A and B are shown apart, each in its own frame.
Chain A
Amino acid sequence: MHHEHMKAWVVPCLILASIWVKWAVGLASYSGQGTPPMYGDYEAQRHWMELTIHLPIRQWYTYDLQYWGLDYPPLTAYVSWLCGILGSWIEPSWFALYKSRGIETPGSKVFMRFTVFAFDTLVYVPALVMFTKVWQGTRSSRRQELALAILLFQPALILIDFGHFQYNSVMLGLTLLAANFFAIERDLLGAACFVLSLGFKQMALYYAPAVGAYLLAKCLYFGPTEGPRLFVRLGLVTVASFIVLFLPFLPPFAPFSAILDPITRIFPFNRGLFEDKVANFWCASNVVLKWKYIASQGVLVKLSAALTALGFLPGVCTLLYSAYRLQAQAAARETKTEHTRPTPLLPLLPYALLTSSLSFFLFSFQVHEKTILVPLLPMTLLLSGSSPEEQTFQLGMLMNNVAVFSMWPLLKRDGLGIQYVALLVFWNRLIGYNPFSFGKRSLLQLLSITIYAACLALHVAELIVTPPAHLPDIFPVLNVLISTPVFALVWLWSIKRGVEVSWALGGLGTRSSSKAAPSAPPKKSIPFPADSRPDLGVGDGDVGVDKVQGPRSSGMRTASLGVAQGRRRKVRSGSVDFH
């Protein structure tokens, strides 16, 4: 496939193929199909299109809240309005007020699927392509294409967006765009994108501590003169973006109290600690400790908030502390007039995003099983940049597969069993990942095999055994108990990696700081957090490099490799030696 004359066509063909797969998944049933009176997420999204085109904006967040009242931020509402207008132009009955509730005609289904598909193609796919170009620009084009394939065919997102029916790819795509813009030093544009992401779906809040900490760290790193300037500009852009988003709910377009309608809808604190069965700390520990009886709702909310904050704090701290140290070094060397571009802090961003979103997933309030998609994005980004013998790769595959597994009860309910199997097999085969293949195994690989065996065993058991009457939820609960440890492990790993990378940046400890600080990387190349050796030494000879050399050198490698591309020999002959 990869001959000289076809090179230019690989990326378009990959995108086309991913479109085919997404659309083919969309042939299946969606959430709540044929289940009146409430149906499911599909009907919720369709209902929002219906109500936004028929009602004045002030009523959007107040209209008949019992039947799928709008509870997403305004950008979703505007997008729904756009889709509703378009759909009504084609066929008015699809979005007739009240009369169209629960409509399930083939035509309306195709239209709804098409809207997901259109936004995915317009936002998420370009963001992925840009990511491979910007973050992995120093890798060979073949590696970049493989990375793109890994990202494009990620089964979890396809199953939820195109099978179950949601628009997560828009929120994820906007956040990814923000990260891409940060990487090319367009921080203001990035901040605006992230606000849009927040304005599309409040789940993007899971990323907010990391993004906020990154930008703050950057201001710190820029020193006492440039830093505050950047800070003020970032603040202005962020506030302005929010104001634009909420403009119809603010004076002079509406009384001041109007802003409360969307806000109370977006943040529902009056629901339970968790819904359904979700693979997070609360649901998993609930097997032993019945939280409902131990503490009141108010206490639980505070407890979960505190735990979440504690969870993302390491990621935030590493960013800020690294920035502080780097700034101090720069000041000591008196080179503050020219800052290295891109920011040396950038490699920390994916790990911080992962730490922060996973801590929200594991410890926060009101988490859905689908929300695993949020931490899955940074992990898959890291995975796409790694090579098969690395820990990042092993863990990334494990987390991806287990994440899909953790959504099995939901997918089963939606009638997506075949799609679940097909996409998982397809994606793993595409990457060439086979955890059961023979060979020398690290501890992580043994763990992976154990987890996969448990997943398979549970599936087999579910096929054969009917759950006993007094334990109707035994399978979902077992699913949670298998999945949660994996997510917790990834969370701990992300903290560890963050610290390692930060250490390699020279951010920790004064002893090695002058030596380890990257000395003015060449402009226009982006350090990539995971392995970025394009051609040399990939796939042979360096299995278990992390273990052998310890965190110090692997962190260094992590931080500097993308940068070192141009001067590989020098770096290799110097302090970093991984062969």
Chain B
Amino acid sequence: MFDNFPLWPQRASSMAGNVDALFIFLLIVSGLMTLLIFTAIIYFAARYRYRKGVPAEQIEGSIPLELSWSLIPLGVFMVIFAWGAVVYFKGRTPPRDSTEVYVVAKQWMWKLEHAEGQREINELHVPVGRDVKLIMTSQDVIHSFFVPAFRMKQDVLPGRYTVAWFHATKPGTYHLFCAEYCGTQHSGMIGSIVVMEPAQYEAWMSGGTGGPLSATGEKIFAELGCVTCHRSDTQGRGPNLQGVFGKPVQLEDGRMLTADENYVRESILDPGAKVVKGFKPVMPTFQGLVSEEQLNALVAYVKSQSQPGAGVAKANAAVTAPEGAPGKGNQVQ
């Protein structure tokens, strides 16, 4: 019976236990508070019900009581707050050497692209026991990537990247929902996350594609002529992109920022917005000229240029696994 009438969601990621623990703590705290209040109300209501000739006893109030029922709950709330914040930070901070998947949401489907090049629609295959980082953007309205079994949710916005991550712990197939209302077929924007044993995953990955995403990006980089200015020496009209990603950049107006996915994206679409110090704002915009998928490939390529020993050839292999991380062995191409 409980197959069709579950009372607790599946637990299939490293975050699920953390969220459930806090949730259970909250259930206990609020259960106790409910019990306390309801018992008091029911007891008082019965014990002090109207009796002829027994007048109510007037009580003005009590400062110590007021203070204790403000401060004690406040203390409990602060514990919940701190605990919640810790869980949230963990869930918002992707580990460094995660496998990367680019997600493009549109009305009403999920397009997923592995850094290794596999493309999927409404279905994401991931290996068990590995950190997976999602770099997500939307082609139209706001969507939200929600996997209940992973206790993970992140809105997907048009015009920028949002990031989420998970670490699947149990093989199986799990629901993927769009959780932000996105139009007529919102409830049809669903899919599944297939968590596989590493060996199976290898087999699935070797199904063949057109090569890693960064290689696609490199091709686009050449086709669009980016390479004429962004040369691999210091003579180009644009900055040399080797080793730029993930590093601090000084802008022409003196500001400093870190070159992350959103910065690379903005620099392609709105090059004049944040020009690197020492360069002129001569780059034309590529807004409308590149699709979200091509943008993702370009970002992946720029990223690959910052992997250790980033030669063009090596970069492809190193996209997902810098510094000999365990992921490296999985690059079966």
Please determine whether chains A and B interact with each other in the same assembly.
no
- B-binding residues in A (CB < 8 A): none
